[in-house]
């Protein structure tokens, strides 16, 4: 594997008699979204502050591209950390400065740019983070969500190579929370920076993370992908993940993935051998276009409403659903075979078309040159039997997906 961008080797940090990090070993790779999860007060923010150099370890070494940070000259250190941004948990915006001044500050103070160029870059970030109406306002005049977006815009304005996010979604409602996460994910894809998030928003962060680091009892107990975390057996999983995950996903109101699997197994036990069930997979396509035209909140509201429609339609007939990725939903119909399921989906389509119109009504708010906004819903179904693994049935359903609904070029007012 490649040399990690950042590596901790036996890093220990104490505050007085209290050990916060104890022989922490971790690796963060370039171009990935890495999320550090753990309970509140567990040392996640302290860990993040070591990466950017706000705190220094009492013991152990931090390596940057394989080179110890403490052995670097000032120039080397600046080259390593100079393009690193940090988004604070409480935003740390300068309250005596306007939104524009806050975002422009790192450009004005650390780069030799002309005023026009600074203005161009700042306004570009302000537009991307939907802050046009707040340009001349002070942080105290903004809502919590808007303050977060200002902090995000300020973190991204220098086109950083590494961005550290300290609980970027804390104190936000589910729609806004997921809007911020999706904003981070989209920017990460667009600009290719390495993102390190500290969060306890499970499972929301799973949808955007390439790797998960689990901080438990002052040390890192797990490093790997979301899929690998599923198979990880450790007290961390019971004490932390299960307590944070809950039974329902906040955004969609659907079952959590874990709860979905529990129900799935419970239904299998009740089923007689030879009885079949059907799995439906729905995918919301072209969400990026919704984000571009209507914003991140609108995209998250779309996901939220999609969850509501699926639950409203399938729960009364015994179905249960979950969200498996950023834009994919799975519904299990335990008592239906393929033919019955196809008939149910046929009923669902007109319902969904109406739902999409409602979504569009609910999220419509800004005109962007009257361009055509459309998004598409794909659905696929597959029949399974009690001997089959749920994951393979879901894969089979995904392969059979076809378009079942489309928002036809909604006109903007």
Partner 1 sequence: MAMRPDIQESSEEKAGWNAIRLLSWPFAQLGRSVISWINNSGAAAIFLLLAALKIFRPRQLMKITQQIYYIGARSTMIIMLVGLFTGMVLGLQSYHALVQVGAEGALGTLVALSLIRELGPVLTAIMITARAGSAITAQIGIERISEQIDALDTMHIDPLRYLISPRIAAAIISFPVLTALFDLIGILGSYISGVLIMGANAGTFFHRVQSSVEMSDVNEGFIKAIVFAVIVSTVCCYQGYFAHMRPDSHGAKAVGLSTTSAVVLSCVLILVSDYVVTSLLI
Which chain residues interact with partner 1 by CB under 8 A? Answer: 52-54, 78, 81-82, 84-86, 88, 90, 92-96, 105-106, 108-110, 158
CB of 50 to partner 1, least distance (A): 12
CB closer to partner 1 out of 64 and 314: 64
Q: Whose CA is closest to 259, among 245, 270, 273? A: 245
CB closer to partner 1 out of 80 and 352: 80
CB closer to partner 1 out of 109 and 413: 109
CB of 93 to partner 1, least distance (A): 8
CB of 181 to partner 1, least distance (A): 21
Distance (Å, rounded) from C-alpha 367 to C-alpha 294? 8
CB of 107 to partner 1, least distance (A): 10
The 219-224 sheet, strands edge to edge:
84-87, 162-166, 194-199, 33-37, 211-216, 219-224
CB of 53 to partner 1, least distance (A): 8
CB closer to partner 1 out of 103 and 284: 103
CB of 158 to partner 1, least distance (A): 8
Question: In which residue are the tokens 């000259």 written?
Answer: 73
Instruction: Give the DSSP per-residue string, 255-318.
Output: BPHHHHHHHHHHHHHHSPTT--EEEEEEEEE-HHHHHHHH-HHHHHHHHHHHHHHHHHHHGGGT
Question: In which residue are the tokens 């940070």 written?
Answer: 69
CB closer to partner 1 out of 108 and 400: 108
CB of 187 to partner 1, least distance (A): 18
CB closer to partner 1 out of 34 and 147: 147
| Contact status, residue 156 vs residue 163, Cβ threshold 8 Å | yes
| Contact status, residue 48 vs residue 196, Cβ threshold 8 Å | yes
CB closer to partner 1 out of 77 and 338: 77
The 320-325 sheet, strands edge to edge:
320-325, 328-333, 277-285, 376-384, 402-406
SS3 82: coil
CB closer to partner 1 out of 110 and 368: 110
Hey, which residues does 373 pair with through a beta bridge? 410
CB closer to partner 1 out of 110 and 400: 110
269 prior amide bond cis, ω within 30: no
Instruction: Give the DSSP per-residue string, 133-186.
Output: GGTT--GGGS-HHHHHHHHHHHHHTT--SEEEEESTTTT--HHHHHHHHHHHHH
| Contact status, residue 222 vs residue 229, Cβ threshold 8 Å | yes
CB of 82 to partner 1, least distance (A): 6
| Contact status, residue 92 vs residue 148, Cβ threshold 8 Å | no
CB of 108 to partner 1, least distance (A): 8
How many CB atoms within 10 Å of residue 1? 5
Distance (Å, rounded) from C-alpha 68 to C-alpha 70? 6
CB of 110 to partner 1, least distance (A): 5
CB closer to partner 1 out of 121 and 237: 121
SS3 250: coil
């Amino acid at each position: 594997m490649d040399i990690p961008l950042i590596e901790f080797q036996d890093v220990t940090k104490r505050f007085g008699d209290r050990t916060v990090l104890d022989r922490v070993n971790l690796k963060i790779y370039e171009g990935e979204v890495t999320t550090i999860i753990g309970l509140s007060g567990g040392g996640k923010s302290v860990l993040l502050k070591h990466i950017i150099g706000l705190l220094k370890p009492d013991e152990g070494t931090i390596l940057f591209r394989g080179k110890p940070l403490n052995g670097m000259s000032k120039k080397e250190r600046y080259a390593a950390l100079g393009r690193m941004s940090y988004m604070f948990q409480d935003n740390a915006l300068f309250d005596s400065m306007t939104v524009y001044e806050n975002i422009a500050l790192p450009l004005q103070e650390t780069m030799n740019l002309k005023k026009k160029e600074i203005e161009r870059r700042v306004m570009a970030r302000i537009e991307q983070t939907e802050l046009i109406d707040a340009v001349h306002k002070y942080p105290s005049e903004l809502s919590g969500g808007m303050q977060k977006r200002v902090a995000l815009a300020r973190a991204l304005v220098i086109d950083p190579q590494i961005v550290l996010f300290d609980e970027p979604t804390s104190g936000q409602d589910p729609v806004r929370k997921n809007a911020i996460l999706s904003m981070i994910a989209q920017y990460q894809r667009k600009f290719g920076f390495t993102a390190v998030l500290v969060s306890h928003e499970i499972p929301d962060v799973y949808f955007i993370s390439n790797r998960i680091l689990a901080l438990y009892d002052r040390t890192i107990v797990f490093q790997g992908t979301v899929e690998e975390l599923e198979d990880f057996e450790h007290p961390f999983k019971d004490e932390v993940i299960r307590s944070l995950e809950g039974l329902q996903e906040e955004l969609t109101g659907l079952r959590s993935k874990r709860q979905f699997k529990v129900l799935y197994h419970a239904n299998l036990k009740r089923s007689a051998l030879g009885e079949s069930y059907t799995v439906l997979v729905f995918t919301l396509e072209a969400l990026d276009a919704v984000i571009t035209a209507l914003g991140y909140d609108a995209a998250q509201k779309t996901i939220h409403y999609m969850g509501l429609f699926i639950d409203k339609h399938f729960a009364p007939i015994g179905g249960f659903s979950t969200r498996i990725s950023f834009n994919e939903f799975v519904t299990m119909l335990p008592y239906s075979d393929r033919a019955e399921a196809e008939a149910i989906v046929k009923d669902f389509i007109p319902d969904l078309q109406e739902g999409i119109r409602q979504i569009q009504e609910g999220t419509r708010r800004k005109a962007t040159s009257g361009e055509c906004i459309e998004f598409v819903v794909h659905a696929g179904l597959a029949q399974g039997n009690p001997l089959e693994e749920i994951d393979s049935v879901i894969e089979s359903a995904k392969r059979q997906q076809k378009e079942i609904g489309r928002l036809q070029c909604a006109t903007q007012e």
